[in-house]
Amino acid sequence: MKKIIVGLAIALFVSISFLMACSGGKSAAELAIKTAEQAVNTTKAKAIRIVPDQVKLLEDALAAAKEKVVKGEYKAALEEATALTGKATEVLAAAMDKKDELTQKWTELSQGVPQMVADLQSRVDVLSKAKKLPASITKEKFEEAKAGLDAIIDEWIKAQESFKTGSFADAISMATSVKDKAVKAMETLGMSAPTPAFAPAAAK
């Protein structure tokens, strides 16, 4: 990622050179637009799934700069394209920082959630074979938790798939939902919900 950011920084320097060396002519504006477009496309490829709103703003700004060239407003287009190249660099750097943050959060969830699901499955299996449910667990509660476990497993699979495709925020949102549902199911089945959430769970 550092090489990409450095490349965009060089593109920014080139654009600034256009601005300083030229008086706002069409050729300079078009070159600056081309540099900005390369920067935006590079950022989009790496950041669209992480900071989609910011990428959309970059695309809108690029379209506005291109429109100024069409209107013959070359100096304004040159200035906006130069600023846009720098902004694309900033957005990419911010996206990479956020990706690292989301990846760390995912690592924590992916280490804890499977164990919670395994503990729940084990508890359900034990209770399913028991001749009588504990006094604190009604048949209705047990069936509800059992059905909930199936939904938890399905949702966890979807969260993993989202992460693999690069939809980090969606994956973490789903994984967090899975964790919360697992905690609730554990409490329903008379298990101690881990505190923090990924400590080993103990059946009562």
Nearest to residue 9, comparing CAs of 61, 74, 87? Answer: 87
Tell me, yes or no, whether 158 and 193 share the same domain.
yes
Pairwise CA distance, residues 32 & 64, whole Å: 13
Please report where in the chains the tokens 């006094």 appear, as a residue: 135
Residues 65 and 110 in one domain: no
Domain co-membership, 92 together with 108? no
User: Is the same domain home to 87 and 115?
Assistant: no
Query: Which of 9-23, 52-66, 177-191 ranks highest by mean pLDDT?
Result: 52-66
Model pLDDT, residue 201: 40
Same domain, 87 and 107: no
State residue 102's pLDDT score. Answer: 92
Same domain for 39 and 8: yes
Same domain, 22 and 69: yes
- Give the domain-ending residue among 54, 70, 98: 98
Structure tokens at 20: 């300083």
Please check whether residues 141 and 106 belong to one and the same domain.
yes
Of the two residues 37 and 5, the one the predictor is more confident about is 37
pLDDT value at residue 199: 44
pTM of the model: 0.70
* Distance from C-alpha of 123 to C-alpha of 117, rounded to nearest angstrom: 10
pLDDT in tens, 12-48: 666 666 655 555 578 888 888 988 999 999 999 999 9
Per residue in 96-147, pLDDT (tens digit) is 999 999 999 999 999 889 999 999 999 999 999 988 988 889 999 999 999 9
User: What range defines the domain where residue 194 resides?
Assistant: 100-203
- pLDDT at site 82: 86
Shared-domain flag, residues 107 and 199: yes
Boundary residue ending a domain (77, 98, 119): 98
Q: What pLDDT, on a 0 to 100 scale, did the predictor assign at position 203?
A: 41
Q: What is the pLDDT of residues 62-106, one digit of tens each?
A: 999 999 999 999 889 988 998 998 899 899 999 999 999 999 999
From 57, 83, 98, the end of a domain falls on 98
Same domain (yes/no): 94, 105 = no
How would you write the chain as a 3-class SS string?
CHHHHHHHHHHHHHHHHHHHHCCCCHHHHHHHHHHHHHHHHHHHHHHCCCCHHHHHHHHHHHHHHHHHHHCCCHHHHHHHHHHHHHHHHHHHHHHHHHHHHHHHHHHHHHHHHHHHHHHHHHHHHHHHHCCCCCCCCCHHHHHHHHHHHHHHHHHHHHHHHHHHCCCHHHHHHHHHHHHHHHHHHHHHCCEECCCCCCCCCEEC
| Least confident stretch, 35-39, 57-61, 139-143, 197-201 | 197-201
